[in-house]
Structure 1
Amino acid sequence: MVKRRGRIAAFLLLALSLVTACGGSPAAQTGQGQPTVYRVRRDTLEVRVSGSGNLQPHTLVNLSFPQSGIVRKVYVRVGDSVKAGQVLAELDTRDLELQLQNARINLEIARARLAQVQASARSRPADLAAAQAALANAQASLDALKAGPDPRDLEIARLNVEVSKNALWQAQLSRDKTAGTPGVASVDLQLAQARVGQAELQAEIARLQYEKATSNPTEQQLKAAEASLAQARANLIRLQAQDPNLDIQLAQYQVQQAEIAVRQLELRLEQARLIAPVDGVVTAVNIAEGGSAGTGAPAITLADLNQLEVVVNLPEVDVAQVMPGQEAEVIPEAMPNTRLKGRVVAVAPVGVQTQGVVNFPVTIALEESTPSVRAGMTVQVQIIVARRENALVVPRRAVTTRGGQAFVTVLRGDQTEQIPVRVGMRGDTMVEILEGLREGDIVVLPATTAAAQGTRVPGPGFFGPGMFR
């Protein structure tokens, strides 16, 4: 048995010497089902999680009109590059422009009403004084009617009657004297007669005024005076009840309403134009000049094709290792030899359950691109969740575990020996050794039925043709 172990070790040493002669490959595998040797070395060890998805623009904007109408003009076509703020299409706005003109007129009317109310408020003290004076005057007139004539007014009226009688008597004497004068001219006689007629009229007026002064007021006069008093009182109460501040506030609200109506129509005019919110490329145009535009389906779609990203769904066990900022490799399925740099930008805080399986969407942004890579392509993504530089590594299959302790088989001279090791980070194919091995040690890997990639080295004898890993 010892002899056979030494023989195996000798062949292993022979394989190792062939490794050195062929360029120092760290590991060697013999023919199918035969042992493999591996030289322990330091290397960069990475742990990756993978997923697949489709590339999509980071920014994809579906633009639609907030109002329906007839399309007047479309300024872009699919594939056009546009800048933020550029007008893409517009509706027919002639009716809106007329509505806006009418709203602006209503605004000026409201402003004029406000100015009128403000002017009335400034004149309110004078209006109150005038109303109070009118009320006092109406009250005095009614009181005078009810109290009857003033004695002094009666005496004046009586004296006026006497004066008018005397004037009439004098006019009559003058007429008679003129008429009795021989050779009097006809015109002088007529003039004297006219003076008598005028004196008679004045006497009648004085008499009527005296009768009026001595008579009591009629019911009609009292009602008229009472109506005037009531009207003057109501006018004063109305002025006193009015709050000019409330009137001004109401007029100001009406101005604000008119301003809002104008702004709404101005906004509708602005919304009648589709304007690019970002730089991008037109990917769809769903409207035509002269056709109708609704408020449902997108009219024009923009995409920023310079910033592509992919969303992959990772299971719970993998997403726990992923966080924003981690590096990633993006590999288009149509171009498997293309490796693009990416970076994790978002990890969904809530998973999505599909058929009982919970996945978490993870967004990876491309940090580089090539013209042949386009939105919509299916890609494979490998996220680097851990990296250890200058780690002491061996293949994962070199490590066996018994009773919770990890072991590797090491070639010592012409003998193999299993030694305990402490394992660190584990990659897909390699594992880090923290304790138990040194750089340059030769470990023996268990037999495998799968051919490995590496440098093939011919080896006669027990091992047969080999391959070094």
Structure 2
Amino acid sequence: MRGRRLWLFGALIAAVAIGAWALLERVRAQPSASPETVTIRRGTLRITLSAAGKIRPRAQAVLNFATPGTVAEIFVREGETVRKGQPLARLDTSDLELAVRQAEIAYLTQQVVYSQTVQGPKPEELAAARAAVRSAQAALQALEKGPDPLDLEMARLNYEIAKNALWQAQLTRDKTAGSPLSAPVDLDLANARVGQAELQAEVARLQYEKLRAGARPEQLEAARAQLAQAQANLARLQPDALTVERMRLQLEQARLQLEQARRQLEQATLTAPFDGTVIALNIEVGQAVGAGVPGGAIVLADLSDLHLDLTVDEVDVVRLKEGMSVEITLDAMPGRTFRGHIESIAPAAIESGGAATYRVRVILDERDPALRVGMSATVEIEVERRENVLLVPNAAVRRDRETGRAFVNRVVGDRVEEVEIRLGAQGETESEVVEGLREGDVVALGEIGPSAAFRFFRFGR
């Protein structure tokens, strides 16, 4: 049994050896694929930051009419350059002009009222108003006091006289009726005199009764109302401080209404808030517009200076300074580079999802008619430059994920050996070698092919 096991173990070892020999022969039979290499050299290392943005104008305004109306005139075309304060478009202003005229009349009227209130009445107007008050007061007092005794006695005596006259007329009629010498006409005349005497007696009686009864409640109320009216007229002619202040406030209200009407008339015309170029025209003559047109009735931009607003994280922003030069490339113009500089760096961060970023504004120093607002651009900013340092391509460097150590495959003759290096400053395509390599060393790029791996297995170590 033991011999059989030894035999099986020996057969297994032989099979492994034969397989390894076949594998090595197959590797040798493959064409020798030399790895791509690069020679370590000294040079200048540019450390840059890249950020993307869109070209924006120095200033941009979306202009809309403040009030609804119908577009009457458009004074500009899209792409036209305009000056600050230049009219761009106007609404139909017929109703607005009428509103201004009405407000002007109301304001002038209120000015007259206020002026009359402050200046006070003329002397003759004041005297007449005071006389009216005195007259009304006397009339009310007379009614409240009741009839004068002398007037009452005179009314009674007039009534007695009227009764006596009636008796005399009746006596004369009776005598005429009893005389055979009286004609019918004489009797008619006597009866008429009796009727007239009766009427006069009744009038005298009523006047006496009325005077003796005194003033009725409605008479007293009417007299009091007449006195109040006379006093109010006098007060209006002699305004107090409160009245003057009320008139002043009414005048100020009329002035504000006039100012508002004029402003609405002015706002019916769109004017340029700054020198610029019309980059969008979204209205037509005859179009009814509201207080806001989607996208703006007219969009104006100041194209004298173009800029980009970049978003830079907090780790990189500390490496930037105002005034730094930048290189700008545009997606729409491949192969061309424009110069620019950093104008400003935001002092406060923008918090988003726990990350802090800062806005950096870059100004284009070069202009080209082909540049358009809204074009996508990439900005490259050189933050550091190191002269005469050993450079290794980043493609040749392998990092250990756990330890962070850096390695390269150095090629020595037909041998490839893994070498640990220490890096200094790191750029986008190359990095500075501080230790581990010398000028003139050759390192492999990318993965090592099978033949190279075989040579390393055979000759390395």
TM category, shorter: 0.5 to 0.7
142 and 79 in structure 1: CA distance in 2 versus 1, 3 angstrom threshold: closer
- Indicate the residue corresponding to 1:394 in structure 2: 391
1:49 maps to what in 2? Answer: 50
RMSD: 5.0
1:77 and 2:90 correspond: no
Any residues of structure 2 matched to 1:201-212 within 5 Å, and which?
none
Find the residue that maps to 2:350 and give its secondary structure.
Answer: coil
Partner of 2:106: 106
Which residue number corresponds to residue 91 of structure 2? 91
Partner Cα separation in structure 2 for residue 293 and residue 328 of structure 1: 45
The one-letter code matched in structure 2 to 1:331 is T
Name the residue aligned to 1:280.
276
Alpha-carbon shift at residue 106 of structure 1 (Å)? 0.9
Q: 1:232: Cα distance to partner?
A: 7.6
Pair 1:257 & 2:258 matched: no
Note the 1:399-418 alignment, pairs <5 A: none
Verify the 8 A CA contact 1:121 1:244 in the aligned structure 2.
Answer: no
Structure 2: distance between partners of 1:32 and 1:394: 22
> How far is 1:275 from its partner?
0.7
Written as runs of structure 1 = structure 2, the 5 A alignment for 1:30-429 is 33=35, 36-41=38-43, 43=44, 45-51=46-52, 53-120=53-120, 137=138, 148=149, 218-220=212-214, 230=224, 234=228, 244-297=240-293, 298-312=296-310, 326-344=324-342, 345=344, 349-350=349-350, 363-384=361-382, 386-388=383-385, 390=387, 392-395=389-392, 397=394, 424-429=424-429
Paired residue type of 1:258: A
Q: 358-367 vs 304-313, which deviates more?
A: 358-367
Q: Which runs of 5+ in 2 are unaligned?
A: 1-32, 155-208, 412-416, 448-461
Contact 1:128 1:240 in 2 (8 A): no
1:406-463 CA-to-partner distances (Å, cap 9, x unmatched) read 799999xxxxx99999755322234456x7799xx6262531149xxxxxxxxxxxxx
Shift of the 283–235 alpha-carbon distance from structure 1 to 2, 3 Å rule, reads closer
The one-letter code of the counterpart of 2:391 is: V
> Whole-Å Cα distance in 2 between the matches of residues 442 and 112 of structure 1?
99
Identity of aligned residues (%): 28
In structure 2, what residue type is equivalent to 1:37? T
Q: 1:300 offset after TM fit, Å?
A: 1.9
Displacement of 1:296: 2.6
In structure 2, do the counterparts of structure 1 residues 218 and 59 end up closer, same or farther at CA, with 3 Å as the change threshold? same
Counterpart CA distance in 2 for 1:94 and 1:132 is 51
- Using the size of structure 2 for normalisation, the TM-score is 0.58
Q: How many residues align?
A: 348
Contact map agreement 2:278 2:298 (CA 8 A) in 1:
yes
CA distance in 1, matches of 2:436, 2:116: 99
Deviation at 1:271, TM superposition (A): 0.9
| 1:86 Cα offset (Å) | 0.9
With 340-349 and 281-290 compared, the bigger mean Cα shift is at: 340-349
Alignment deviations for residues 37-61 of structure 1 (CA, whole Å, 9 cap, x no partner)? 33435x363232333x443333232
8 A contact 1:346–1:364 mirrored in 2 = no
**CA 1:424–1:138: 2 relative to 1, 3 Å:** farther
The whole-number CA distance in structure 2 between the counterparts of 1:405 and 1:330 is 35
Aligned partner letter, 1:45: R
2:42/2:388 contact within 8 Å kept: no
Q: Which residue of 1 aligns with 2:443?
A: 446
Structure 2 residue identity aligned to 1:394: L
Give 1:339 deviation, angstroms.
1.1
